[in-house]
Amino acid sequence: MQTLRFRLDGRELDAREGETILEAARRHGIAIPHLCWRPDLGVAGNCRTCLVEVEGEGRLAAACHRRVEPGMVVRARGGRAARVRRGVLELLLAEAGGALLRRDSELERWAEAEGARRDRFRPDPWPAADLSHPAIAVERGACIRCTRCVRACRTVQGHDVLGMAGRGAASRIAFDLDDPMGASLCVGCGECVQACPTGALAPAGGAALRQAKALTDSVCPYCGVGCQVRIH
Ligand code: FES
């Protein structure tokens, strides 16, 4: 396999042919924020939290998508890219409404690491949660539309229950034909919960189970993947 040399934040590094800036940085233990990318889910390029500067180019590049080229000089720390990434994270915090279900979510961790302020933008209105599923709660207000749950449902589990509905600001994750999650074909495997970087999809726990009028079948009762509730 051919190896390329490039510079990232002043360090000369090697990259494998076809590797992206983000993949090469991670292999060398260098942290660049990322939310919509996960190694097993492919590139979506929609969150823009991984922006970096490539010397000689006016536009910022998405590190999850841009392949390393020989001699490339990349700046991730400081400068314009870091400022823009911080702003993106502040917008995502506002979009997620400042009331994330998981306080240790990936969005929270990256926001803290990048010095993003929670109070810079007014939070979006918080829509009602979908608690129709006995195992998984859907807090649409915390969703940043990264589509990781959609890709995890399809490519990891092969279930194809999750998709996107609507356009622009009205776009949202949808179950089957935009049904309540509890009325969809979701089997409660928890893969989407594991994939969600904000806590918009989270184990429902006892509250939703108490609300549920009937128990439901699941492929993985007590599977440990995400739901961690016993359902029948
Ligand atoms: Fe690169 Fe989302 S991680 S655009």
Query: Residue 41 carries which side chain, given as an amino acid letter?
Result: L
User: Does any ligand 1 atom lie closer than 6 A to the CB of residue 41?
Assistant: no
- 62 CA distance to ligand 1 middle (Å): 6
200, pLDDT greater than 50? yes
- How far does the centroid of ligand 1 lie from the alpha carbon of residue 64, in Å? 5
Asked if 188 and 218 count as a contact pair (C-beta separation under 8 A), the reply is yes
> Using an 8 Å Cβ cutoff, are 201 and 144 in contact?
no
Cβ atoms within 10 Å of 36's Cβ, excluding its own: 23
Q: Of 129, 133, 127, nearest to 188 (Cα)?
A: 133
Q: Is 45 close to ligand 1, i.e. is its CB under 6 Å away?
A: yes
232/14: higher pLDDT: 14
What tokens does 210 get? Answer: 């108490």
Least confident of 16-30, 118-132, 153-167, 175-189: 118-132
Cα–Cα distance for residue pair 60/150, rounded to 1 Å:
27
Give me the pLDDT at residue 230, please: 41
Mean pLDDT of 131-158: 93
Distance (angstroms) between ligand 1 centre and the Cα of 37 equals 5
Which atom number of ligand 1 is nearest to the Cα of residue 47? 2
For residue 176, name the pLDDT band (cuts at 50, 70, 90). very high
Range list of β-strands (E), 17-55? 51-54
What's the whole-number mean pLDDT along residues 82-104?
Answer: 82
**ipTM field:** 0.99
| Test site for ligand 1: of 20, 21, 48, most ligand atoms within 8 A of the Cβ | 48
Q: From the alpha carbon of 45, which atom of ligand 1 is closest?
A: 4
On the question of pLDDT at 103 being above 90, the answer is: no
Predicted confidence (pLDDT) per residue in 111-143, tens digit: 999 999 988 988 877 788 899 999 999 988 889
End-to-end CA distance of the chain: 50
- Residue (of 168, 165, 193, 190) closest to 178 by Cα position: 165
Phi, psi (5° rounding) for residue 151?
A: -70, -35
Please report the atom of ligand 1 found closest to the CA of residue 34.
Answer: 3
Task: Please tell me the predicted confidence (pLDDT) of residue 232.
Answer: 38
Please indicate whether residue 36, judged by its CB atom, sits closer than 6 Å to ligand 1.
yes
pLDDT reported for residue 168: 87
Q: Is 64 in the pocket of ligand 1 (CB under 6 A)?
A: yes
In this structure, the strands spanning 3-8 and 73-75 are parallel
The CA 143 to ligand 1 mean position distance, Å, reads 15
**How high is the pLDDT of residue 1?**
75
- Domains of the chain plus CATH, in order, are 1-126 (3.10.20.740), 136-211 (3.30.70.20)
